[in-house]
Amino acid sequence: MSEELKNKLFDKKESGWKKINEDEKTKIAELSKKYMDFLNKSKTEREFVKNARKLADEHGYKDIMEFSSLKPGDKIYFINRNKSMYLAIIGTENIENGLHIIGSHVDSPRLDLKPNPLCEDTGLAYFTTHYYGGIKKYQWTTIPLSIHGTIVKTNGEKIDICIGEDENDPIFTITDLLPHLAQDQMQKKLKDGIDGEDLKLLIGSIPYNDEKGTDLIKLNILNILNKKYGITEADLSSSEIEVVPAFKARSLGLDESLIAAYGQDDKVCAYTSLAAMLELESVKNTAVCILSDKEEIGSVGNTGMESHMFDFFISEILNKLGINKPNLLDKVFCFSKMLSSDVDAGFDPIYASVSDKHNAGFLGKGISINKYTGSRGKSGASDANAEYVAWVRNVLEKNDIKYQIAELGKVDIGGGGTIAYIIANKGADVIDCGVPVLSMHAPYEVTSKYDVYSAYKAYTAFWKE
Ligand code: MN
Ligand code: MN
């Protein structure tokens, strides 16, 4: 009797892998394969945007600047300084009734080279770094690392570099102290074990031509760079070079149910929303896909979500629809709905004490919805309204998409933020909605293939609504 009633009344949070059919299993495997392939060539925001543009072009999208006017069904994008991108399909509904926006970010925690990175110390050459985003510094030592980026010369010439991804490339690493001599280091708090200044990338050890003199290893490295790219030491100061893990995205587990990869925060939501967008044909409300930059350091700067570039994109749509007038942009935002598609902290049984089991996102149980983020007393949270949560639940339930409603960790323990509040501040209804991740912000993050597929289905359903 009670079992029957439980079945009727309880919110059963079952694994999505239960009762799954062969057709769905195949679709999950196909999407995961495409996602992992995309990740392997898109480790930085610039690479992600470049590859997203390629896909968008193949799917009939065009730069909004090529249009003098827009009409329903037009597929457009805008690329902001090669690091963030907005895509849209003009809907059949009057745009004054609001947009359906899905917004993720394509930057991930990493090590950036310092402006004057090249140095030599006692027989070894290094690139010095300044870490980007919230990392546990010790995780970045003694692993294979690659360097990706863009160097711009004073004449405007751009050189893209990527070393350490091809099997025939050399890789790089950051050394750590051997345990035999680490007594003092091992007494330190975990967060102080590795100093930020000590995240120095080892890049060489051969002196130039056996001549006598100083800095000959640095000279040899610069000579190699000059021959390969035509650059001098000063050119490194006008560059954005990122040090990222050299590992490939791989299937994880004997049952191959999981994905291990660098940068899944938030490229998992960025890729699944992009893939969903590219398959859309026509939509009622204008569908907008945001791939933003600089989320990991507070969404600041002209490629971050706080910048006015997004408003500019939407204004440009209103202009080209021929309907713009004072305050229309505000009106459009006030009637808009958004899924802030960012990852959730997946429940980890090894570290169960930081989560409330009844309010955590579990791997394999579908897309994770955070009604609010923020920390300790909802500080800094964009808290979705009950009416909007119900609207989102309805979309997911009628499309048979598995979801879980969660929050990020125990009340007094931590928390986090996304771009949700930025669009909410413009007046839109916003909720966080993404894939649960284990080892978030680590060089190798873990997701469930089932959740990746759920995210793709959820984003498709939201836009089709
Ligand atoms: Mn994120
Ligand atoms: Mn993050």
Residue 284 CA to ligand 1 center (angstroms) comes to 29
pLDDT for residue 388: 98
pLDDT for residue 373: 86
Mean pLDDT computed over every residue of the chain: 96
Q: What's the pLDDT tens digit per position in 406-458?
A: 998 999 887 888 999 999 999 999 999 999 999 999 999 999 999 999 999 99
- Confidence label for 80 from pLDDT (cuts 50, 70 and 90): very high
Question: What's the CATH class of domain 11-108+262-464?
Answer: alpha beta
The span from the CA of 285 to the CA of 310, in Å, is 18
- Confidence label for 181 from pLDDT (cuts 50, 70 and 90): very high
Residue 441 CA to ligand 2 center (angstroms) comes to 6
Residue 206 CA to ligand 1 center (angstroms) comes to 40
210 has a pLDDT exceeding 80: no
Residue 445 CA to ligand 2 center (angstroms) comes to 11
Listed range (12-21, 84-93, 252-261) with the worst mean pLDDT: 12-21
314 has a pLDDT exceeding 80: yes
pLDDT for residue 211: 75
The span from the CA of 237 to the CA of 223, in Å, is 17
pLDDT for residue 166: 96
Show me where the domains of the chain are located.
11-108+262-464, 110-245
Q: Which residues contact 48 (CB under 8 A, 6 or more apart)?
A: 42, 106, 267, 270, 291
CATH of the domain spanning 110-245 = 2.30.250.10
Looking at the chain, the whole-number percentage of residues with pLDDT higher than 70 is 100
Q: What's the pLDDT tens digit per position in 275-309?
A: 999 999 999 999 999 999 999 999 999 999 999 99
Residue 108 CA to ligand 2 center (angstroms) comes to 7
Residue 187 CA to ligand 2 center (angstroms) comes to 29
Question: Which residues sit opposite 80 in a β-bridge?
Answer: 84
pLDDT for residue 60: 98
Residue 387 CA to ligand 1 center (angstroms) comes to 25
pLDDT for residue 296: 97
Residue 216 CA to ligand 2 center (angstroms) comes to 40
Residue 442 CA to ligand 2 center (angstroms) comes to 10
182 has a pLDDT exceeding 90: yes
- Confidence label for 376 from pLDDT (cuts 50, 70 and 90): confident
